[in-house]
Structure 1
């Protein structure tokens, strides 16, 4: 073959080399991951064989199996979330509110609750069943074909989300509530991510950051300086990997309809969330005209039955969209509504609304409020009838929607509420690189919030509401055992059954949605019944272990009844941190 033919073939094949290298890397990544799957299955088998013969070895087998799972979590959570939940879901009964279906817990966290802190000999049969099922699930996971469909960009996206998972769940003890083995497991999660990076040329800065992160995680759970870990270790790593992905020419995933933007490497950055995705109809996306119309309707008394009340009556913009009352005044000034008025700031950054989580969208919530006789005592039909007689509203709806009907009234108000997104507090500034944004007391409070005080296991950072990061597809309700009176020495259980009224399951009795803590210093009184006037009172209630901790009969309480043993200074630090969640002007 002549030299010119060789050159010509080289010219033709040269553009295909990057794609060939990419395919080869992907196959190597899959092979390495398959080895991790086999390792997990073997550790699950050893765990099953260890019970209940030797408690010491059994506990170590459990920890080893958890570490093996954490090394594959980065892909399993993203591409087989149902199996991830079966293997490592929360250890409590949960209810799918929309379908009224009870989901019983299974997997690692159930096993953990049986064997730690000591073996519960009354649950040995359950333990055996859980270990057997874990082994079965590990085998199914290894055989599942989803891995074959993944491309290079999918692996990078999964690593991005795993780093967000470490930041928001991994270091706070979310899925290791009893044994508090979260920090070694976070190291294992990073090792899983490193399996991907091993297929690329080493970047010294990234290798250094990974080593520093793993070194800092070799700490006791309560001793980790989480504020420094997040801002000085994990944030630089996320930024370095974001830059490296761009240098490699690996694009982010196309818009896949997720709440968290597919380009979000550091989950605490600005403008990463997409509240419009919780709108029930794509054609109902917010526009400037719709937001302006909704803002006007928000203060419009015409929407109420007596023409004297508006949304702003109970959700006053000057009071962080609350009214400062334990419970809002009912229609016609006759008594009060059953519950405290929550803030509307960032209300759109959640998939369920109302304190009992009964509504799946802002539009549905608005319709409910309009027809509630204690709130607006009206209807969508009556609202449309009144608005259609007003020329200014006729023109505004025509401009924004082209028509004036009940769906447009709901959506205009919802568009305004979706515009009330603010994630610009001193806490946010600190997490985005401004170390001076928080003082030492507030940084200690952040460490407590995400560590010893366990606040972040329900108020998930950065939103501080109940939406579970980083997928933001699941929202929890919790049973706290809230008292009807503020005297914790002589408490009475509040009779409000919460979500138990919506779905008749024992696990939902007294259950309420976890609210956002954004702007919390301005949203008191606190709890669903407004029983506590100050944040200090709230912290004291949690420190004592909720309702069970103060002696109330709440057998289905999801909050741990164990005292937190916070010192006076720690309680002060915690409150100081919560006040940093107030948005800046």
Structure 2
């Protein structure tokens, strides 16, 4: 069976085993387990018993050739049961969670150039919607695998200890998951039952916080959270239609409010921060807070940590032609601030004024990606900067020669000495200051951000409708994850996705673009052929032309391509296309509203 999905390929960025969880618990300064926290574990165990039982019941229905409607109803019940413990499984057993409820696409082991078969609830969804007798054996096989994962949950939660700070952190993470993956239908791209499931995820958070609350009778923060969750659930129960749900107001009115109240609960309970560097800062009210993201979660090591001094020095060098071989080109030549750090060309030009292979990507928010360049050939911005400088077609610079100049420069050398406490500038330091400047380019001050922070005049009615279409009917948030609007997967932000869209040479959509993208570096991995990084949509109104080849001149060209179902929709043979080939059936008016919304993502 060939399994397709609406999602880009997900890449394993780390593997977590029971031993890791035990090690983490041992080394963090956690409170010893107590009766209340035992209650938390008991609740997970109880839910998992129901989960395993429902798997068995569903397997029996499939084996007895039950009708499609009966099977789908039982499957929806099974998903709801998982949602009741999702907060814990995703947090404590993330690797297992990937194979319980991850996208129905192969997991790629990059170092070995191999693919792991997808499994779990999303694979089963593809078998059950629609369901035919031809899918019977495969459905039973994957249900048996899911039983094994249920046993993994049982064994692990018997072995590990949990602490109050961990449980709180997991509950908070679940709210962020709901605010991004949950609300975008990431888990249920075919059935679209996510709005029906979300109340159960919220109830699980509510119940968990009650279990770790010190004094429920006087806990004002807990009461406020309960009230807010109940209010959110009431809204969800009124409308479960993905195409008409009011996402643009539900997020700030309910989800952001809940995440903000969690901080009050944390303070009231005296819960300490988890001592782990994470992409989201520990004490931000929501995804959309101006200081929500921590750039140091994306650096290659502690010595590369971001600082304003590094960024300021990096800005000077970014605009200095000293980095090129002939002192005739700077980074700013191809990354123009007024064009959101692109060059406005379909394809960038070489030093010899010849067209290069691809479009210059925006550097805005590039610091929040694991994988640089369209083909993701470099893991981080430090590697990206040296690759560009040394590329003979782009800058043709020599790092040793450049460092020789810098170390004799009375303007630059003192700054390097001050920042790094060394006698001279080194290669990694040059890379780091340039990367630090690029990390500083994420402003998070668009009209959309303002609206999410409570300024109801920041977006027009058309733009609000456009956002609802973006998340709902248009399904854009399945790949361009809120709030970064790129392929870095929330709420952990530990991996960045790439997609296979079936992109054409240009907006006429007559000829398939043969660029292998990331597949060039993994020739034996079919799932990576013609794949490209999912870029951010922030500042997209300034980054035309679009796609990796710059072949799409306008956002309407891009939207027409997606509306048709990508390359497959235009008749291209792209067997590994990760974008759904089902036409979106968006009207011209709806597309106009979506483009109008995307204009709100421009940093002011």
Q: Please say whether Structure 1 and Structure 2 have the same fold, judged by a TM-score greater than 0.5.
A: yes
* 1:43 counterpart (49, 54, 59): 54
SS in 2 for 1:102: strand
**Residue in structure 2 matched with residue 409 of structure 1 by the alignment:** 430
1:262 aligned onto 2:273? no
**Residue in structure 2 matched with residue 69 of structure 1 by the alignment:** 82
**Residue in structure 2 matched with residue 144 of structure 1 by the alignment:** 156
SS in 1 for 2:123: helix
Deviation at 1:59, TM superposition (A): 1.8
1:577 aligned onto 2:597? yes
- Matches of residues 408-557 of structure 1 in structure 2 within 5 Å? 408-488=429-509, 491-504=510-523, 505-557=525-577
CA distance in 2, matches of 1:21, 1:377: 58
CA deviations over 1:180-205 (Å, ceiling 9, x no partner) = 11111111211221221343427554
CA deviations over 1:25-73 (Å, ceiling 9, x no partner) = 2222222222112111211221222214213322222111111111100
Is the CA contact (8 Å cut-off) linking 1:289 and 1:399 kept in structure 2? no
Deviation at 1:222, TM superposition (A): 1.4
Deviation at 1:235, TM superposition (A): 2.0
CA distance in 1, matches of 2:285, 2:59: 38
Is the CA contact (8 Å cut-off) linking 1:320 and 1:344 kept in structure 2? yes
Deviation at 1:492, TM superposition (A): 0.3
SS in 2 for 1:436: coil
CA distance in 1, matches of 2:418, 2:155: 55
CA deviations over 1:456-481 (Å, ceiling 9, x no partner) = 11000000011100011121110001
CA deviations over 1:241-285 (Å, ceiling 9, x no partner) = 32233223333x233111112223422212121112322221222
Deviation at 1:338, TM superposition (A): 0.8
Structure 1 residues 128 and 269 mapped into 2: Cα distance closer, same or farther (>3 Å)? same
Structure 1 residues 118 and 405 mapped into 2: Cα distance closer, same or farther (>3 Å)? same
**Residue in structure 2 matched with residue 232 of structure 1 by the alignment:** 253
**Residue in structure 1 matched with residue 339 of structure 2 by the alignment:** 319
Is the CA contact (8 Å cut-off) linking 2:389 and 2:398 kept in structure 1? yes
* 2:229 counterpart (210, 213, 227): 210
Greater shift after overlay, 461-470 or 180-189?
Answer: 180-189
Is the CA contact (8 Å cut-off) linking 2:203 and 2:229 kept in structure 1? no
Structure 1 residues 453 and 179 mapped into 2: Cα distance closer, same or farther (>3 Å)? same
CA distance in 1, matches of 2:415, 2:265: 48
Is the CA contact (8 Å cut-off) linking 2:286 and 2:292 kept in structure 1? no
CA distance in 2, matches of 1:553, 1:275: 40
Deviation at 1:564, TM superposition (A): 0.5
Q: More relative contact order in 1 or in 2 (CA 8 Å, sep 6+)?
A: 2
Deviation at 1:426, TM superposition (A): 0.6
Deviation at 1:95, TM superposition (A): 2.2
Deviation at 1:441, TM superposition (A): 0.6
Structure-1-length-normalised TM-score: 0.92
SS in 2 for 1:446: helix
Structure 1 residues 508 and 300 mapped into 2: Cα distance closer, same or farther (>3 Å)? same
- Runs of at least 5 residues in structure 1 that lack an aligned partner in the other structure: 1-18
SS in 1 for 2:367: coil
CA distance in 2, matches of 1:398, 1:22: 48
CA distance in 2, matches of 1:296, 1:70: 49
SS in 2 for 1:95: strand
CA distance in 2, matches of 1:268, 1:367: 32
1:272 aligned onto 2:283? no
CA distance in 2, matches of 1:155, 1:106: 27
- Matches of residues 72-151 of structure 1 in structure 2 within 5 Å? 72-119=85-132, 121-145=133-157, 148-151=160-163
Deviation at 1:302, TM superposition (A): 2.1
CA deviations over 1:532-561 (Å, ceiling 9, x no partner) = 111111111111111111111111100001
Is the CA contact (8 Å cut-off) linking 2:166 and 2:274 kept in structure 1? no
**Residue in structure 2 matched with residue 13 of structure 1 by the alignment:** none
CA distance in 2, matches of 1:296, 1:244: 44
RMSD: 2.0
**Residue in structure 1 matched with residue 193 of structure 2 by the alignment:** 181
Deviation at 1:147, TM superposition (A): 6.7
Greater shift after overlay, 293-302 or 79-88?
Answer: 293-302
Deviation at 1:378, TM superposition (A): 2.3
Structure 1 residues 415 and 241 mapped into 2: Cα distance closer, same or farther (>3 Å)? closer
CA distance in 1, matches of 2:451, 2:207: 31
**Residue in structure 1 matched with residue 588 of structure 2 by the alignment:** 568
Deviation at 1:99, TM superposition (A): 5.0
CA deviations over 1:315-336 (Å, ceiling 9, x no partner) = 0122211110001111221x11
Deviation at 1:97, TM superposition (A): 3.4
1:196 aligned onto 2:215? no
1:340 aligned onto 2:355? no
CA deviations over 1:380-416 (Å, ceiling 9, x no partner) = 2232233334333333333333222211211121121
Q: Which of 1 and 2 has greater Rg?
A: 1
Structure 1 residues 254 and 566 mapped into 2: Cα distance closer, same or farther (>3 Å)? same
1:358 aligned onto 2:371? no
Deviation at 1:20, TM superposition (A): 11
CA deviations over 1:152-211 (Å, ceiling 9, x no partner) = 121111111111111101121101011111111111211221221343427554333222
Structure 1 residues 195 and 383 mapped into 2: Cα distance closer, same or farther (>3 Å)? same
